[in-house]
């Protein structure tokens, strides 16, 4: 069946073939032929789960819990299950997934293929570090069991492999004890970017989750904002119940709300509201884990052209050089940045993983020619400073820039070629970034 | 309550299984592919802590219960587009009518649904003339009716109107329709 798919940033839109198997024998009978790509919830910022002439295989019906071992703290699930469903299941049992990106509709398949992060990256690392084993189906190779002991290379390539090694069918994931059902959350105001980086580095030592919301649309005080810092609140009762979130993909017809005139005002109101009460207050765990719930229409506010999210891993030792250059760039181009956030990171670069010792700096900006010129200049600055752009976020990232920023770029391509020489698994993303070596 | 669900691995059957599991009922799930049944047995057992097993019928115990048949609105009048399916569903309906008669007076309730469109693999990718029910909505309605002496009913109910019109369309018109 034909479906029109759009990336979350509304940047890339294609009419594609779509299939949604719901039985194992349908998976197992797939033959190598037309290009395929796995699809979870389809809420990625970039066109990673579809592409022109590619059949997307929706994995949403494979969403069952296969095993739970509370004593050894692991769960085995089919890859189409959502974070929200796992949260609902685990909370009452005093357990949780150690790493969770910001929306309950995101699936485990998407978390593995994107090797995503949460708000505690500086402690727990990336999602992939908690995957103990997985089952992968590839029409050429059949059903394969992968783990650090078995098919090691392919296991490594599938985590953060953008779905290009095949369909992730199920996975065993390590769990953490649920620290508490609610968090004590403070909003610590910061006056500029330098203070934001410094304060974030300081607060991460004493908090379980930290990130910053900053305002780069404010021309007189760019970078003003606040740090959200959360610690467990053991006194809180486990909140049971279902998580309801709105669909992220059905674009509403609201008129374009964000532009250079409105954004400074909207952001100022948002910041004022965010800093009205700074002291610790109790917030349900799901509200802090999934802050985008209830704000789903944000993604429509950029209108039809959509937006670009650029997420940059700035190494610790490059922060001092990065701040003045990014500020000068925003001033020079005069584009209003809608959203600016900051997270703390740890880790070592590997293949195409978005990680490293430093900070993740993210901006969302309306997709127009001025913004594209600014981001192209920022690409150069990043390359110079050794910063890397998140592949799963930025729809305009070019293969040349990706190659300069990721030392594992060539190795990834080479390994993929060995496993899938016919490029059976292909997406708009893999084509744009030229991830298929020939 | 013990319930056997034939065709439990997908679509409406799977939604009914889930809905009953949420209410704590013991389940026996049957379908032709063991892998799907294994996965569903694991899932429902873990999530709802119920007694659930799959594939084999031998644990079914006599005594009260429900026998629920899935028919189709397509059997309301024979049409060229799906003759075998419609005929089979008509036969099934008659079989269920007989079962209901046979079971009258016992503690077993026999119910039969003439189902309209449902959003499952059967209708996936098709352009439908009328709105399709979500499997979960169908399951909800069916589970609510368990224990009632219903006979054969439409789900959703408004298919009654559509099938009545189709049934009474005069032949000179009907024969020209490609439905
Ligand atoms: C509101 C919001 C907040 C977010 N917050 C964060 C965050 O804090 N940190 C972060 O890192 N990311 C974040 N993300 C991004 C998100 O985590 C990733 O884009 C994730 O991959 C989306 O999962 P999905 O199920 O929608 O996958 P899709 O978008 O459907 O697919 C993503 C990739 O995974 C592959 N894939 C999915 N399922 C399978 C499968 N079963 N088998 C093989 N391949 C598969 C696809 O081929 C594709 O390459 C956020 C996204 C949103 C919308
Ligand atoms: N979907 C609609 O729009 C619609 C409309 C009117 C009526 N109906 C009726 O509603 C019922 C459910 O439909 P659905 O859409 O949910 O179908 P579905 O998604 O195709 O599911 C059918 C289920 O039956 C199982 N099954 C098939 N053949 C079997 C066999 N020989 N022995 C045991 N199990 C078997 C299947 O598993 P395996 O394949 O693994 O066996 C699967 O679990 C059917 O009776 C259908 O005719 C559906």
DSSP result, B29-79: EE-S-HHHHHHHHHHHHHHH---EEES--TTPPPSSEEEEEEEEGGGGS--
- CA B99 to chain A, closest CA, distance in angstroms equals 31
Average pLDDT over residues B67-92: 94
Q: Would A268 be classed as within a structural domain?
A: yes
**Dihedral angle, C-alpha A267, A268, A271, A276, nearest 10 °:** -150
Whole-angstrom Cα distance, residue B70 to residue B51? 24
If one counts the domains in chain A, the total is 1
Inter-chain CB proximity A68 and B46 less than 8 Å: yes
Q: Give the structural domain span for A374.
A: 182-394
Is the Cα torsion angle B102, B104, B108, B111 positive or negative in sign?
A: positive
pLDDT of residue B166: 95
Whole-angstrom Cα distance, residue A221 to residue A264? 11
Average pLDDT over residues B112-132: 94
Inter-chain CB proximity B36 and A66 less than 8 Å: no
Partner residues linked to A211 by β-bridges: A228, A343
Q: A92: phi > 0 → left, psi -120 to 50 → alpha, else beta; which? A: alpha
Looking up residue A213, the CATH number of its domain turns out to be 3.40.462.10
Q: Would B17 be classed as within a structural domain?
A: yes
pLDDT of residue A242: 80
Contact A413, A435 (CB under 8 A): yes
Return the number of other C-beta atoms located less than 10 Å from residue B43's C-beta. Answer: 24
Inter-chain CB proximity B47 and A65 less than 8 Å: yes
Looking at the structure, do residues B91 and B149 belong to the same domain, yes or no? yes
Question: What's the token pair of residue B94?
Answer: 């008659």
User: What is residue B31's DSSP assignment?
Assistant: -
H helices of A73-119, where? Answer: 83-91, 108-114
Among B36, B42, B124, the residue with its CB nearest the CB of A23 is: B36
Q: How many residues does chain B have?
A: 179
Question: What's the token pair of residue A234?
Answer: 């053991």
- Nearest alpha carbon to residue A404 among A390, A383, A387: A383
Which chain B residue shows the shortest CA-CA distance from A69?
A: B46
Tens-place pLDDT, residues B157-167 = 999 999 999 99
Contact A397, A389 (CB under 8 A): yes
pLDDT of residue B104: 86
- Name residues contacting ligand 1 (CB within 6 A): A 8, 37-44, 48-49, 59, 79, 101-103, 106-107, 109-110, 113-114, 116-118, 162-163, 167-168, 248, 292, 392, 427
Q: Would A9 be classed as within a structural domain?
A: no
pLDDT of residue A240: 61
Looking at the structure, do residues B68 and B137 belong to the same domain, yes or no? yes
H helices of A23-82, where? Answer: 24-28
Separation of A99 CA from ligand 1 center, angstroms? 13
Q: Would A433 be classed as within a structural domain?
A: no
Whole-angstrom Cα distance, residue B161 to residue A350? 63
Please report, rounded to a whole number, the percentage of residues in chain B having pLDDT higher than 70. 94
Q: Would A230 be classed as within a structural domain?
A: yes
A12, A36, A38, best to mutate for ligand 1 pocket (most atoms within 8 Å of CB): A38
Question: What's the token pair of residue A333?
Answer: 């181009």
Looking at the structure, do residues B31 and B81 belong to the same domain, yes or no? no
Position in ligand 1 atom list of the atom nearest CA A106: 25
Looking at the structure, do residues B44 and B77 belong to the same domain, yes or no? no
Which chain A residue shows the shortest CA-CA distance from B126?
A: A1
Among A18, A61, A66, the residue with its CB nearest the CB of B42 is: A66
- CA A332 to chain B, closest CA, distance in angstroms equals 50
Q: Give the structural domain span for B27.
A: 2-56
Which chain B residue shows the shortest CA-CA distance from A3?
A: B125
Looking at the structure, do residues B43 and B125 belong to the same domain, yes or no? no
Partner residues linked to A131 by β-bridges: A173
Q: Would B86 be classed as within a structural domain?
A: yes
Q: Would A141 be classed as within a structural domain?
A: no
Inter-chain CB proximity A25 and B40 less than 8 Å: no
Q: Does residue B63 register a pLDDT over 80? A: no
Mean pLDDT by 10 residues, chain A (438 residues): 95 96 95 96 98 98 98 98 96 94 97 97 96 98 97 98 98 94 94 97 96 95 96 78 84 82 95 93 92 92 94 97 97 94 96 98 96 97 98 98 98 97 97 92
Q: Which ipTM was obtained for this model?
A: 0.84
Residue that is written with structure tokens 């090694």 in the block = A165
Inter-chain CB proximity A22 and B43 less than 8 Å: no
Looking at the structure, do residues B52 and B111 belong to the same domain, yes or no? no
pLDDT of residue B55: 67
Q: Is the CB of B68 under 6 A from ligand 2?
A: no
What's the gap between Cα A211 and its chain centre?
14
The residue contributing the CA closest to ligand 1 atom 5 is: A102
Q: How many CB pairs under 8 A join A and B?
A: 40
Strands B108-115 and B151-155: parallel
Q: Which ligand is nearest to the CA of B122?
A: 2
Looking at the structure, do residues B113 and B157 belong to the same domain, yes or no? yes
Q: Is the CB of B8 under 6 A from ligand 2?
A: yes
Q: Which of B124, B134, B135, B136 best tests the A interface by mutation, with the highest count of A CBs <10 A?
A: B124
If 0-12 CB within 10 Å is exposed, 13-18 middle and 19+ buried, where does residue A173 land?
buried
Position in ligand 1 atom list of the atom nearest CA A169: 41
Looking at the structure, do residues B138 and B73 belong to the same domain, yes or no? yes
Q: Does residue B66 register a pLDDT over 90? A: no
pLDDT of residue B178: 85
Q: Would B109 be classed as within a structural domain?
A: yes
Return the number of other C-beta atoms located less than 10 Å from residue A295's C-beta. Answer: 14
Q: Does residue B57 register a pLDDT over 60? A: no
Average pLDDT over residues B143-151: 92
Separation of A69 CA from ligand 2 center, angstroms? 33
Average pLDDT, chain B: 90
Q: Which ligand is nearest to the CA of A296?
A: 1
- CA A2 to chain B, closest CA, distance in angstroms equals 8
- Nearest alpha carbon to residue A177 among A81, A76, A93, A282: A93
Inter-chain CB proximity B9 and A23 less than 8 Å: yes
Report the SS3 class of residue B47: helix
Q: Would A56 be classed as within a structural domain?
A: no
Q: Which residues of B156-165 are buried (b: 16+ CB within 10 A; e: fewer)?
A: beebeeebee
Looking up residue B70, the CATH number of its domain turns out to be 3.40.50.720
The residue contributing the CA closest to ligand 1 atom 21 is: A110
Predicted confidence band of residue B58 (pLDDT cuts 50, 70, 90): very low
Partner residues linked to A314 by β-bridges: A359
Looking at the structure, do residues B148 and B104 belong to the same domain, yes or no? yes
Looking at the structure, do residues B114 and B68 belong to the same domain, yes or no? yes
Q: Helices A319-333 and A369-385 meet at what angle, rounded to 10?
A: 160
- Nearest alpha carbon to residue A119 among A353, A429, A345, A433: A345
Inter-chain CB proximity B33 and A23 less than 8 Å: yes
CA angle, B18 then B20 then B25, to 5°: 125
- Which residues 6+ apart lie within 8 Å of B35 measured at CB? A24, A25
Q: Is the CB of B121 under 6 A from ligand 2?
A: yes
If one counts the domains in chain B, the total is 2
Q: Which helix (H) or strand (E) holds B70?
A: strand B65-72
Tens-place pLDDT, residues A200-255 = 999 999 999 999 999 999 999 999 999 999 999 988 776 666 888 888 887 767 78
CA distances from B28 to A67, A237, B14, B18 (A): 19, 36, 12, 12
> Which of chain B's residues have a Cβ under 8 Å away from the Cβ of A65?
42-43, 46-47
Q: Would A380 be classed as within a structural domain?
A: yes
Which chain A residue shows the shortest CA-CA distance from B123?
A: A1
Question: What's the token pair of residue B8?
Answer: 């439990």
Q: How many residues does chain A have?
A: 438
Q: Is the CB of B80 under 6 A from ligand 2?
A: no
Average pLDDT over residues B93-120: 91
pLDDT of residue B56: 46
Q: Would B179 be classed as within a structural domain?
A: no
| Residues on chain A bordering chain B, Cβ-to-Cβ distance under 8 angstroms | 1, 18, 20, 22-25, 61-62, 64-68, 78, 89
Contact A173, A75 (CB under 8 A): yes
Half-sphere exposure of A298 (CA within 13 A, CB side): 16
Q: Is the CB of B7 under 6 A from ligand 2?
A: yes
């Amino acid at each position: 069946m034909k479906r029109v798919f759009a990336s979350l940033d509304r940047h890339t839109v294609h009419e594609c073939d779509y299939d949604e198997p719901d039985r194992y024998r349908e998976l197992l009978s797939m033959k190598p032929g037309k290009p395929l790509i796995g699809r979870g919830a389809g809420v990625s910022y970039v066109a990673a789960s579809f592409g022109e002439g590619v059949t997307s295989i929706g994995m949403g019906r494979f969403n069952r819990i296969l095993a739970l071992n509370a004593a050894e703290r692991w769960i085995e699930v089919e890859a189409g299950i959502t974070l929200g469903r796992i949260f609902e299941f685990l909370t009452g049992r005093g357990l949780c997934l150690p790493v969770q990106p910001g929306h309950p509709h995101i699936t485990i398949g998407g978390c593995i293929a994107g090797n995503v992060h949460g708000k505690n990256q500086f402690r727990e690392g990336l999602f992939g570090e908690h995957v103990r084993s997985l089952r992968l189906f590839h029409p050429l190779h059949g059903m394969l069991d992968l783990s650090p002991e078995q098919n090691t290379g392919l296991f490594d390539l599938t985590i953060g492999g953008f779905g290009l090694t095949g369909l992730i069918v199920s996975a065993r994931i390590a769990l953490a004890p649920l620290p508490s059902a609610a968090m004590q959350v403070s909003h610590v105001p910061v006056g500029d970017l330098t203070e934001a980086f410094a304060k974030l580095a300081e607060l991460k030592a004493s908090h379980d989750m930290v990130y910053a919301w900053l305002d780069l649309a404010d021309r007189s005080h760019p970078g003003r904002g606040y740090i959200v810092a959360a610690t467990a609140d053991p006194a809180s009762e486990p909140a049971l119940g279902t998580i309801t979130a709105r669909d992220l993909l059905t674009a509403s017809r609201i008129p374009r709300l964000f532009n250079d005139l409105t954004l400074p005002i909207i952001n100022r109101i948002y910041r004022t509201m965010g800093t009205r009460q700074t002291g610790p207050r109790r917030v349900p765990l799901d509200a802090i884990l999934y802050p985008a719930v209830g704000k789903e229409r944000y993604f429509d506010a950029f209108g039809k052209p959509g937006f670009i999210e650029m997420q940059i891993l700035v190494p610790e030792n490059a922060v001092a050089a990065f701040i003045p250059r990014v500020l000068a760039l925003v001033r020079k181009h005069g584009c209003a940045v809608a959203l600016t956030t900051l997270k703390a990171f740890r880790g070592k670069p590997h293949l195409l993983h978005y990680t490293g010792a430093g900070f993740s700096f993210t901006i969302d900006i309306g997709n127009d020619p001025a913004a594209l010129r600014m981001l192209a200049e920022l690409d150069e600055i990043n390359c110079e400073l050794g910063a890397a752009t998140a592949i799963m976020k930025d729809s305009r990232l070019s293969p040349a820039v990706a190659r300069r920023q990721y030392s594992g770029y060539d190795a990834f391509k080479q390994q993929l070629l060995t496993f899938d020489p016919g490029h059976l698994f292909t997406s708009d993303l893999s084509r744009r970034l030229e991830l298929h070596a020939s | 309550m013990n319930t056997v669900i034939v065709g439990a691995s997908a679509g409406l059957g799977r939604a009914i299984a889930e809905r009953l599991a949420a209410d704590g009922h013991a389940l026996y799930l049957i379908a032709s592919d063991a892998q799907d049944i294994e996965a569903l047995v694991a899932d429902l057992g873990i999530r709802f802590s119920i007694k659930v097993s799959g594939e084999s019928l031998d644990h079914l115990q006599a005594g009260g219960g429900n026998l629920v048949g899935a028919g189709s609105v397509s059997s309301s009048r024979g049409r060229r587009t799906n003759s075998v399916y419609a005929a089979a569903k008509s036969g099934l309906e008659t079989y269920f009518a007989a079962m209901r008669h046979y079971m009258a007076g016992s503690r077993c309730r026999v119910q039969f649904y003439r189902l309209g469109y449902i959003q499952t693999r059967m209708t996936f990718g098709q352009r439908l003339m009328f709105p399709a029910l979500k499997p979960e909505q169908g399951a909800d309605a069916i589970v609510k009716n368990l224990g009632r002496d219903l006979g054969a009913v439409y789900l959703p109910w408004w298919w009654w109107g559509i099938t009545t019109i189709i049934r009474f369309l005069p032949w000179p018109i009907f024969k020209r329709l490609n439905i």
